[in-house]
Amino acid sequence: MNSACQEGCHGCTSNYCHMCQIGFFDVNGQCDKILCIENCDLCETSTACYKCKDQFYLLGNTKNECTSNFIAIHRLFKIKKGCEDTISNCVVCENQNVCKECKDGYFWDGTKCEGNFYFNF
């Protein structure tokens, strides 16, 4: 950044900004800071976060929520990752010991996701 440029400006000429940095938007050659979602440190738009504040993490790919570490891990465990680490073949778990939804072809038998067995008679 040129030392003569204002905060948030990536390149300027005579106090006119040609390109604003991430987290700022251009208003007639001036860079204004974007007001953003809660716990976001740097925004792409007013509803999309680029970087969350320390101790907060983006949840999923939507970039619309910065959340604390505990909540992020819990949600990702249940929604994104499933329960594979603790319950084999589980997609959605109630807790580390109970599966709410097993992978296709499997059913919850009360203790684990069991594969469907087909018998020919």
* pLDDT, tens digit, 9 for 90 and up, residues 1-25: 445 788 889 888 888 998 888 788 8
d(CA 38, CA 64): 9
pLDDT at 50: 81
pLDDT at 87: 80
Are both 75 and 94 inside the same structural domain? no
pLDDT at 54: 85
Are both 120 and 87 inside the same structural domain? yes
Are both 87 and 119 inside the same structural domain? yes
- What's the number of domains the chain is made of? 3
Mean pLDDT over 56-77 rounds to 68
Is residue 57 within 8 Å of residue 83, measured between CB atoms?
A: no
Task: Say whether pLDDT at 79 is over 80.
Answer: no
Are both 69 and 41 inside the same structural domain? yes
Q: Which are the contacts of 119, defined by CB distance < 8 A and separation ≥ 6?
A: none
Average pLDDT, the chain: 76
DSSP state of 72: H
Q: Looking up tokens 């030392």, which residue turns up?
A: 3
Q: Residue 47's domain spans which residues?
A: 36-80
Strands 56-58 and 49-52, sheet pairing = unpaired
